[in-house]
Structure 1
Amino acid sequence: MFNMEFIEIYFLIFLLLILVITKLLNRTRCKHMNLPPSPPTLPILGHLHLLKEPFNRSLFALSQKHGPIFSLRLGSHLAVVASSLSVVEECLTKNDVVFANRPYFWVGKYIGYNYTTVGSSPYGDHWRNLRRICKLEIFSANRLNSSSSIRRDEIKNLLRKLYYSLSDDNFVKVELTPLLSKLAFNITMRMIAGKQHKPKAAKLHDLLQELLKLGVSPNVGDFFPFLQWADFFGYKKKVVKLTREIDGLLQGLVDEHRRNKDGFEEEDTVISHLLRLQESEARYYTDEIIKGIVQDMLLGGINTEFITLEWSMSHLLNNLNTLQKSKSEIDFHIGHGRLLDETDLPRLDYVQNVISETLRLTPAVPLLIPHVSSDRCNVLGYNIPKGTILLVNVWAIHRDPKVWDEATSFKPERFENGRIKGCKTMPFGLGRRGCPGMDLGQRIVGLALGSLIQCFEWKRVSSKKIDMAEGKGLNLQKAKRLEAFCKARNTAKELLS
């Protein structure tokens, strides 16, 4: 029998040979295919071991070593990471059609109704029809204007809840994170389904939050197809169970609208509007398509809106001069005789700049939803094969010192007088796959943030600045929940009491 020490030595030599051969093969392949530069790789795993949370920071660190465009081998998939404005413009303007597809990941199959929703479906006629529905039937200016009363009512409900929880003329500590999350959900839910369904809405909110946590978890089968049969950590089982429960609740909302047609048409909800379209085009506006649109609105909108509000308030509390300047602008243009309204937002330039700077420095989705190439293309002289995943590190692009002065500082003034041109910021994506709900999100964040500034005095809970550490996951949530001291201003006393 072999001595165990010799076996260990031979095994280490064997591993070393595999590493050397793999490295040589990858180097030869990259040179032959003219791929973007790449870090050293491991057998089978490729570069998966280099991806650590938060992913936007680990990819940024790699870009510092390998340049604004580099390639990664993620198991069986080739990926290209774009970390500069010039690279993204090449990919999502010049080669926009080529990169208009989505990867066939498990999220799209189990959460995206088998790749049939606007967020998960491949580029083609079906996706174009869904996009048209979203732009013309759901997020058009006319429909958003008609639903402005919902946003006004829900924000006023939040203001009143805050007002009645405060002591007279005293600062009281409030936890803003859950309040802002519930606000974003209530607004979206009322636009979709009306005022009813409170027990169902509460359950749906909890299920969606659980699904979001699982949906951004890596699935081994996505990177190693030969392991798709295995359900590591029970992710697939949990997601299937959650999506069935969510689908049941969404179907219940659709059925209730169908039964109580006249009542919901008065509210002109998203579901009632889509059901009217179903009457004329029943084959296309199926219940599954309607539920997919509704789920995309809930999953895509709620977290991004509340995360942006949370970061905006955090930045203002850490920059009190900016908070005071925002307050002065609102007092000047709106005064104390009425509450801020959506129609006032275009006049509040500085408040809009605060939101723009928040989206630059702390975008809610720091890595855009992955794209995948449907054909071969060329990006800045590099050959990109068909089926390559494109990861856009918006967080890194927004902090590029070659583009931004004092790139890591919070300076809303940089957006004054329309000085930022083109696509220097892209928190909602770029090209065909840009977020169709961008206008709605900007209205909700602008009205909510402006109303909180108009009605209340705010200060930090301690002399130290608020911890701006990022949490884990693909959404850029704060690691710690936001708390602040709050006191009603005279405006709130007059308008909310």
Structure 2
Amino acid sequence: MDLLLLVVIFVASILCFLIFGHLNPKRNDVKRINNGLGKRLPEVAGSWPIIGHLHLLSGSQVAHKVLGAMADKFGSIFTIKLGVHRVLVVCSSEMAKECLTTNDRVFASRPKAMGSELMGYNYASVGLAPHGPYWRMIRKLIVLELTSQHRLQMLARIKVSEVESSMMDIYKTWVTAAGSSERVVVDMKQWFGKLTVNMVVKMMFGNHFSPGEQNGEEFLKAITRFAQLIGEFVPSDFIPWIRWLDLGRYEMKMKKTALEMDAAINGWLEDHKKKRNYASTLQVDESKDQEIFMASLLRRVEEAAKEELYGFNADDVVKATCLALFAGATDTTEATLTWTLALLVNNPMTLKKAQQELENFVGKDRKVEESDMSKLVYLQAIIKESMRHYPVAPLLIPHESIEDCIVSGYMVPKGTRLLINIWKIHHDPQIWTNPFEFQPERFLTSKKEVDVKGRHFELIPFGSGQIAGEEICWSYLVERIFGGIVSYSINSRSYVQKYAVF
């Protein structure tokens, strides 16, 4: 958010302030503190009227590093004002644990935002929906589907099939250029992106991504815009009364993106409905189609609809859920895989050890299999260290308190938003020796028992607590995807010989 935009927000807000007036939340804070409900939270200095501390986040430095620098000055727990909203920033594993375990129920909701409304089917997306009966219902359905044995088996089959197909594409590229004196260069970020999209599309929707079908290219571009827009600092999210100005044209962009995504995902949904009706008419076995996530979820949601969908229709619930999981599994997976391989290339000794481990336990005469992963402990350490270095979401998706609570002796009022700075926790020198160095060996010694499933708060790239249930569940699948793809990439010389450069 640039300074010119902030000036416009400031002027517009003052006009609204003069017209509508304001409430002073500090009066209620004093009452709570006087009633023995904890100490007052430290607040960062430099807050401006109306916009609060938004101007401190308007520079070129990324938000998680700006907030990390604040933690060095004000401590690992403090508050800032983002427009009209009070935000609790937590930068330590102990306090993150207290927020997401002791106060798990209190922070079980998400704040409302324009992106969740316009691109999340009016808060039907489980990862962005406020806490309540709808959220509990759809979360339960997702966990049942993602952790089922047939879903894991299906993922394993798809992973093998898609990785083999992608490796063959690289081999064909090398064969085509075999007569050239130059080496073959492979864009691994693009390769990871195409591979991940094909895997997730096939698991969720049942077919390969094809640019020529269902406006595939437009859908991928829309998903990319979705990921960018959902993480933007939208002015009206912090100062609601200026939404009509549509500063930054965010509302216009979000509506356009939502329409493009819906057109593609609705096409997949209608295809599955037609297949189901056709199978029912001809009494054909439809068990194969039921393995597909969208078809299985549709069946479960329609069963739940017989009781209550809390104001949503079944189609929107299915589309919102599939869209959230697709967006969460593609761009994030591609980014983490790219960072992992980049770290290995820049640390040749680590790469050599990983290759040696693969040769010892797998060899060069066969492909890596799912059963091999438990033996590849060094590879698993590499994946954990990559997630520690470059968490996909350096700041966890915001939570919001649904009632007053106490965190580390401080009084946190109802309605306070919670930001957990994962990046700062993952680089805390009190937890991690030489935190800015790439050292997978730490997960073979002092941090051997630490995993990424939300149980160890010094490493929580996917979050933790009950609101992160579907994220942790999905992280289990993502971790398995990472392991297989990274192992293939590291050991790729067995398939494309020494001519390809990775």
TM-score, normalised to structure 2, is: 0.82
Instruction: Tell whether 2:142 aligns with 1:114.
Output: no
1:491, 1:122 → 2: CA distance?
52
Q: Which residue of 1 aligns with 2:9?
A: none
Identity score, percent? 32
2:100, 2:209 → 1: CA distance?
41
1:28, 1:288 → 2: CA distance?
42
Taking a change above 3 Å as real, the CA distance of residues 203 and 27 of structure 1, as seen in their structure-2 partners, is: closer
Taking a change above 3 Å as real, the CA distance of residues 366 and 128 of structure 1, as seen in their structure-2 partners, is: same
1:336, 1:264 → 2: CA distance?
40
Which digits, 9 at most, give the CA deviation of each residue in 1:420-440, with x for residues without a partner? 443220001011122131111
Q: Quote the offset at 1:43 in angstroms.
A: 1.4
Contact 2:89–2:418 (8 Å) recurs in 1:
yes
Q: Which residue of 1 aligns with 2:465?
A: 431
1:426, 1:236 → 2: CA distance?
32
1:196, 1:423 → 2: CA distance?
37
Instruction: Tell whether 2:56 aligns with 1:50.
Output: yes
Q: Which residue of 1 aligns with 2:242?
A: 227
Q: Quote the offset at 1:135 in angstroms.
A: 1.0
Q: What 5-or-longer segments of structure 1 have no aligned partner?
A: 1-14, 16-24, 458-486, 493-497
1:258, 1:349 → 2: CA distance?
43
Work out which of the residue numbers 280, 288, 293 in structure 2 matches 1:270: 293
Contact 1:264–1:272 (8 Å) recurs in 2:
no
Q: Quote the offset at 1:250 in angstroms.
A: 1.3
Taking a change above 3 Å as real, the CA distance of residues 220 and 392 of structure 1, as seen in their structure-2 partners, is: same
Q: Quote the offset at 1:45 in angstroms.
A: 1.5
Q: What 5-or-longer segments of structure 2 have no aligned partner?
A: 1-13, 15-23, 34-39, 280-284, 451-455
Matching of residues 192-207 of structure 1 within 5 Å: 192-195=204-207, 198=210, 199-200=213-214, 201-207=216-222
2:400, 2:90 → 1: CA distance?
13
Which digits, 9 at most, give the CA deviation of each residue in 1:51-110, with x for residues without a partner? 144111111111111110110011100001101111101111111110111011111111
Taking a change above 3 Å as real, the CA distance of residues 87 and 196 of structure 1, as seen in their structure-2 partners, is: closer
2:459, 2:379 → 1: CA distance?
17
Instruction: Tell whether 2:232 aligns with 1:217.
Output: yes
Secondary structure in structure 1 of the residue aligned to 2:491: helix
Instruction: Tell whether 2:95 aligns with 1:73.
Output: no
Task: Return 331-340 or 347-356, whichever deviates more.
Answer: 331-340
Q: Which residue of 2 aligns with 1:178?
A: 190
Instruction: Tell whether 2:490 aligns with 1:453.
Output: yes
Which digits, 9 at most, give the CA deviation of each residue in 1:113-139, with x for residues without a partner? 111221111122211111111111134
Work out which of the residue numbers 101, 115, 118 in structure 2 matches 1:93: 101
Which digits, 9 at most, give the CA deviation of each residue in 1:296-353, with x for residues without a partner? 1111111111111011001101100000000111111111221112232111110010
Contact 1:110–1:240 (8 Å) recurs in 2:
yes
Taking a change above 3 Å as real, the CA distance of residues 302 and 139 of structure 1, as seen in their structure-2 partners, is: farther
Taking a change above 3 Å as real, the CA distance of residues 401 and 141 of structure 1, as seen in their structure-2 partners, is: farther
1:186, 1:209 → 2: CA distance?
15
Q: Which residue of 1 aligns with 2:350?
A: 322
**Paired residue type of 1:81:** V
Taking a change above 3 Å as real, the CA distance of residues 455 and 264 of structure 1, as seen in their structure-2 partners, is: farther
Work out which of the residue numbers 396, 410, 425 in structure 2 matches 1:382: 410
1:117, 1:334 → 2: CA distance?
41
Secondary structure in structure 2 of the residue aligned to 1:154: helix
Task: Return 388-397 or 183-192, whichever deviates more.
Answer: 183-192
Secondary structure in structure 1 of the residue aligned to 2:220: helix
Q: Quote the offset at 1:196 in angstroms.
A: 5.3
Instruction: Tell whether 2:143 aligns with 1:140.
Output: no
**Paired residue type of 2:387:** L
Contact 1:278–1:286 (8 Å) recurs in 2:
yes
Contact 2:395–2:421 (8 Å) recurs in 1:
yes
Q: Quote the offset at 1:27 in angstroms.
A: 9.6
**Paired residue type of 2:62:** P
1:39, 1:184 → 2: CA distance?
44
TM-score, normalised to structure 1, is: 0.83
Q: Which residue of 2 aligns with 1:9?
A: none
1:358, 1:197 → 2: CA distance?
28
Q: Quote the offset at 1:489 in angstroms.
A: 3.3
Secondary structure in structure 2 of the residue aligned to 1:488: helix
Work out which of the residue numbers 289, 302, 317 in structure 2 matches 1:289: 317
Contact 1:185–1:302 (8 Å) recurs in 2:
yes
Q: Which residue of 1 aligns with 2:253?
A: 238
